[in-house]
Structures are given as C-alpha cells and as structure tokens.
Amino acid sequence: MVNDVLGLIDFKADIQDPNGKLVSWNEDDDSPCNWIGVKCNPRYNRVSELVLDGFALSGWIGKALLQLQFLRKLSLAKKSYWELKPWSCRLRLFSTLAAINFSSNQFSGSLPSGNWSLKGLRLLDLSNNHLDGEIPKGIEGLNNLRAINLQKNKFTGAVPDGIGSCLLLRSIAFSENSFSGSLPNPLQNLALCNDNSFSGWVPTSIGNLQSLRVLNISMNAFTGSFPESMINFQNLLTVDLSQNSLTGSLPSWILKLGVQEILLSGNRLSGSMDSIFSSSPVNSHPKLLVLDLSHNALLGKVPSAIGDFSSLRVLNLYRNSLKGGIPASIGDLKALDILDLSENRLNGSIPLEIEGAISLKELRPENNSLVGTIPTSIQKCSSLTSLANEKSLQRWLDHELEVMVNVHEVRYEYEKQSQVYVLSSKVF
C-alpha cells in the first residue's frame, strides 16, 4: 500500500491540476483508497483503477504509475492535456492493465512499434486525439483485446491483417482517419470503419461476424455488390454502407436480417425495390425503424408492401428514378416521422390515406410530377412541421392553408427559380 501512495504522489508531482481535483491526495495518508479518482481491489486493498476523466489535468505521464502493481484500469480521458512522448515507449511496461482510455485529449505522434507486452489488455481507447502514422503490427499480439477505438485521429496506411487474429475482439472503431487499402482479411470482427479511404470489394469474410450488432463502413470507396455471406448475420441491428460506390441491385435477403436501420444512401444501386419487399418475412416488419435508400439509381414503383412495416420512422427515397404513384399504404405507417420522396419521377396525387400517418413531422414530395392538391385531411397529422411541394399545389397554399395550423414551414418550387416561404408560428 505504501508503494501505491508514493506512486500516486509522484504522479501528482509531475502534473498540473488547475481545478484542484486532486486535493484529497495526501502523502501522509496510509491508504489512497478514498482519494478521488482512485478505486482499490477489496481483496488486496491495492489500487486497481485510476479514473481521472474530465479533470483538465496536464503534464507528463511518467514512471511513477509503474509502482501501482495491481493497476488494471487507467482512464485519463476528456479535457486533459497529457504528454504522450516519451511515455509511449513505456506503454509496453504496463503489463497488468486490462483497460486504457486516453480518449479526447491532445495526444500526438505515433504509437510505439515492436512487441506490445499488454497481454491482459481488453480495452484500448485512443480516440479523438492527434495520433498519426500507421498502426504498428505489435498490436496483433493483444490476444485478449475485446474493443479497440482509434477513431478521430490522423492514422494512415493499411490496417494490419493480424488484427483479425484477436479472436475475442467484439468492437473495432477506426472511423474518421485516413486509412487506405482493403479491409483486413481474415476479419474476425468489425464495427466502425467509416470515413476512411478503404477500397475494393467488401470482403466475403465479413459474414463470419455472426455476433456483430453494428456494421458501419460508410464514407469509403468500396465497390461491387453486397457479399452474399452477409446473410449469416444473426444479431445485426444497423447496416450502414452509405457513401460508397456499391453497385447492383438491393439484396433480396437484407430485410431477412431483422435489422432496425438500413442506411445505403449515396451509392450506385439500381433495380427495383420489389426485390427486398417481396421476400421479407413477417417477423421483420415490426423491427425496421429507418430505411434510407436516397441518392441511388433505383427504378420502378414504391412498393405498396412498405405499409407492412408498421414501426418505420424514417423513409428516405430522395433522388432516385422511381415512377408511379405514392401508394395508399403509406397511411398505414402510424409511427412514420419523415417521408422524403423528392427528386424522383412520381406522378398522380398525394393519396387521401396520408392522413393515417399521424406521427408525420416532415413530408417532402417536391420535384416529381405530382398533380392535384394536398388532401385537407392531412391536418390529422398534427405533428407535421415541415412540408415541401411543387407549384402544382400553389392553389392549396392560397386557399386551404388555414387547415394546417401546426405547419411552420411550407416550400414550393418553380421550374426555373425557387422561392421559399417561411411561415412562422406567429402567423397562426
């Protein structure tokens, strides 16, 4: 216990504490277990956790912490300003640590190369810093790693293939870096690798991730079609492959996964939507909450089967090449908040059944070939706050606007110029 007190006092001597967060740390105490940010193992009465998140501390992380021989968790995250160098070279000496969290600081430089001796490490979070360079291959030796978060840094190069050998890994977050090349293969687990420059086809080995809950590889440069192995997902809740260059048709099995969110916007997908709705199992209907297929090249009609998805909250089909009318089954979507059908080739009129979408907050049917007037029964959508439409409905604006007492914004567009009329709540 004396070593723990001395180690923490030496650590305190090397840092600045402008807000006096560590005032309770007193070298005359026999035990540090009641000090703020310190937690002890009750069995050995030794320091097991040091959590100083958000304390606005700064300074060096020196050798003093090596005296804490039972330390398992070290968290120095948020609003602190630590010097990682040259301490990064000593990172391998903390062989007892199970969790390291240095997120949201000002760390810079590269990670240490060579063999990392952190055999017991389960969590490594270095996100939201200024770290650069490549991920060292030594990280492959962290065989007990469950989660690694390196997002929002400046890492470059390829992700080491050997990271797939960490068989216990359940979460990888590498988004908002500058990684390039292809995804590691074999890949044992993947969560967030979005906003990089990964390219090539999505690897078929991704289907091995049967316990995966979130797949987010958006904002990369993936090409080709969806790998059939994705049908093996058993626990997936979110699929986000938006902002890539994927081609081909929507996979007929995607709704069979029973996911809550399908985000495929900003690709080059073509074909009709019928392929995914015609084969969707009944048990998937109440699960889907968000369907975003915007900014693709989808053809055909909006399937009437869309009305079977009673829990759907967001339906975004903006900027495709959809034709035909708006299906009356839209009115069956009682939970729908946002409906964006803009910039397609839809014709006919807005169906009277739209009144059934009682939770609707935003309706965007503009830049189509719709005719007629907006049904006055839409006033039953009492939560509606934003409505956009074309000049063909201008007559409704002139004569029937009084029924929309909750609408705060109404837009309509001319073919050659756009005018926006904002009607504040003060008007009504």
**Residue 395: is its pLDDT beyond 60?**
no
CA-to-CA distance for 72 and 44, rounded, in angstroms?
13
Distance CA 105, CA 52 (A): 12
Q: Phi and psi dihedrals of 332, rounded to 5?
A: -80, -5
Looking at per-residue confidence, does 195 or 57 come out higher?
Answer: 57
The string of DSSP letters for 182-195 reads PPPSS----SB--S
Residue 150, token pair as written in the block? 């390196």
Please report which confidence band the pLDDT of residue 167 belongs to, taking 50, 70 and 90 as the band edges: low
Residue 399 has pLDDT above 60, yes or no: no
SS3 386: strand
Residue 155 has pLDDT above 60, yes or no: yes
Q: Is the pTM of this model over 0.75?
A: no
Q: Summarize the confidence of residues 290-299 as an average pLDDT.
A: 96
Comparing 416 with 251, the larger pLDDT belongs to: 251
